[in-house]
Amino acid sequence: MNVAELRTQLIEWLSDVKSWGNETTQNWDDYIYTPIQIQKYHMGDDFPESEFSDQPSTLYILMWTNCHEYQISAKSPDDNGTHKGYLGLTAKSRKPRTGETWQRGNDLHDGLFSKNTFDIIIKNIVRYELIAKVKTPKSVTVESCDCNNP
């Protein structure tokens, strides 16, 4: 599977995932990055391209919520069947917790390059965003977003 086929497969799997309000205009191609693009995203424009080469069968999907950034790493299976491919998910807090100078992160689900692994990854993102319901007095009706409690 070449990089174009990998991109097409990822976009097909993502086609049912849409952000609220963008049901008809979601362009997932804008969320897919090559290895060099992902390094520039994380390290800035001063990133020396000569020190890092694109791996033609690897792509990354970046997604953001109010509190977190998610990165799905995708490596395509090879054509001769010796490498089955890979999908993996990492989550990173978009802002540090009070008193901390770093952003917390977690490795989440990973596995073979398959629709099943992809579906589990999407469910992991939903699970990561869910917060526990807290019993509140009846007079309290509005809950705030607590980005420090993933």
Cβ of 6: how many Cβ atoms within 10 Å? 21
For residue 113, tell me if it sits in a domain. Answer: yes
Is the predicted pLDDT of residue 102 greater than 70, yes or no? yes
Q: What is the pLDDT of residues 28-70, one digit of tens each?
A: 878 888 777 767 666 666 655 555 555 557 889 988 888 899 9
Q: Look at residue 58 and tell me if it is in a domain.
A: yes
Could you tell me which of 108, 115, 111, 103 has the C-alpha nearest to residue 129? 108
HSE at residue 123, side-chain half, CA atoms within 13 A, is 8
Q: Tell me, what's the pLDDT at 131?
A: 83
| Contact indicator for 87, 110 with CB cutoff of 8 Å | yes
- Number of structural domains the chain divides into: 1
| CA–CA dist 28, 90 (Å, integer) | 18
| Domain membership flag for residue 60 | yes
pLDDT at 91: 94
* Partners of residue 90 on adjacent β-strands: 71, 107
Only one residue has tokens 């049901």, namely 23
Whether residue 134 is contained in a domain is answered as no
User: What is the residue whose two structure tokens read 């020396």?
Assistant: 48
pLDDT at position 126 is: 92
pLDDT of 52? 52
Who contacts 121 (Cβ-Cβ below 8 Å, separation ≥6)? 72, 87, 88, 89, 108, 109
**86 has which bridge partners?**
75
Residue 34, pLDDT score: 77
Give a yes or no: residue 137 inside a domain: no
* Domain assignment of residue 110, yes or no: yes
> What pLDDT digit, counting tens, does each position of 129-142 carry?
888 888 776 665 55
Say what the pTM is: 0.73
Q: Is 23 within a domain?
A: yes
Q: Residue 62 falls within a domain, yes or no?
A: yes
Q: Which domain holds residue 103?
A: 3-129
